[in-house]
């Protein structure tokens, strides 16, 4: 999510990334993003636009992007409202969803300003800006602070070089062999608010199995930690000393050995 790109330009970046990771065909992904962006552009046609989002990290980042894009349309005040839930919407009944609608809250200018500030910090090339956003309560966005704190934990740990999601995946494998869906359930049980899909988790396991410096070995159903994986779990090895990172988190490109790391004990970034 590099900074200073329009919604359309950002969608093109996302399509390229998702296709490279194998999360969908480029043509289908392009159509999905074009449909979403076109719907946002039509916001003026509606008396009211209501955004429904959950409390998890993935939804909160999407909410920031949606609010920022809608703010740029310069709609009349009161046209945009928010439904934010600490329960997963897909698991709710029609009646439960219906009871949320009257509780929607208007997105005020202060909410839009707060969302843009957080969105800019998320896309900043400096992790210090993400850290600042994760330390503040955002006006009208009650779940954002916890979500951004969780995103900080996706940086490689100062202890073992793993992100929290990678470590949870490795722990899931260490608990014993199981099919992908079983390992996924074990890893997600460690989350306060799960946000990964099973497909993303599967790709993460592929990363942990890749050479050099694989942390997991075996085939599906028989995966076990490698010797290096066991050392990393025990705190006796640092994965990034064995393998260079090349990953984007928001606007920060983590590349090579000298990258920002997350210190869980101090809850801050280290050089």
Asked if 53 and 84 touch (Cβ cutoff 8 Å), the reply is: yes
Q: How many CB atoms lie within 10 A of CB 55?
A: 19
pLDDT at 260 over 80: yes
Residue 85 structure tokens: 């839930």
In the chain the beta strands, taken as DSSP E runs, fall at 49-54, 80-85, 105-106, 216-217, 224-225, 245-249, 252-256, 261-263, 268-270
Give 83-135 pLDDT, tens digit per residue. Answer: 999 999 999 999 999 999 999 999 999 999 999 999 999 999 999 999 999 99
Query: What are the pLDDT digits (tens) for 20-76?
Result: 999 999 999 999 999 999 999 999 999 999 999 999 999 999 999 999 999 999 999
Dist CA 166 CA 56 (whole Å) = 18
Residue 103: both structure tokens together: 């509780």
Question: Which pTM value belongs to this model?
Answer: 0.95
Where in the chain do CATH 1.10.10 domains reside? 164-270
Pick the CATH number of 164-270 from 2.30.30, 1.10.10, 1.20.120, 2.60.40: 1.10.10
- Report residue 122: phi and psi, to 5°: -60, -40
Using alpha carbons, select from 84, 89, 88, 100 the residue that is nearest to residue 142: 84
**Average confidence score pLDDT of the chain:** 96
Instruction: Tell me which residue of 94, 83, 81 sits closest to 49, measured CA to CA.
Output: 81
pLDDT attached to residue 4: 87
């Amino acid at each position: 999510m590099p900074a200073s790109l329009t919604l359309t330009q950002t969608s093109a970046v996302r399509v390229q990334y998702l296709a490279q990771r194998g999360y969908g065909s480029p043509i289908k992904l392009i159509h999905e993003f074009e449909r979403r962006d076109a719907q946002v552009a039509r916001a003026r046609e509606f008396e009211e636009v209501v955004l429904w989002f959950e409390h998890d990290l993935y939804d909160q980042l999407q909410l920031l992007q949606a609010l920022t894009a809608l703010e740029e349309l310069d709609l009349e005040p009161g046209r945009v409202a928010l439904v934010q839930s600490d329960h997963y919407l897909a698991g709710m009944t029609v009646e439960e969803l219906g009871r949320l609608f009257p509780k929607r809250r208007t997105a005020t200018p202060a909410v839009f300003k707060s969302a843009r500030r957080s969105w800019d910090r998320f896309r900043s090339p400096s992790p210090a800006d993400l850290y600042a956003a994760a330390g503040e309560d955002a006006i009208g966005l009650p779940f954002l602070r916890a979500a951004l704190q969780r995103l900080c934990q996706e940086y490689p740990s100062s202890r073992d070089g793993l992100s929290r999601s990678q470590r949870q995946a490795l722990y899931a494998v260490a608990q014993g062999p199981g099919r992908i869906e079983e390992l996924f359930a074990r890893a997600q049980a460690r989350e306060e608010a799960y946000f990964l899909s099973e497909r993303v988790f599967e790709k993460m396991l592929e990363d942990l199995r890749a050479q050099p410096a694989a942390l997991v070995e075996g085939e599906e159903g028989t995966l076990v930690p490698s010797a290096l994986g066991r050392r990393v779990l025990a705190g006796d090895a640092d994965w990034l000393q064995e393998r260079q990172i090349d990953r984007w988190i928001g606007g920060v490109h983590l590349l090579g050995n000298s990258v920002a790391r997350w210190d869980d004990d101090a809850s801050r970034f280290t050089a």
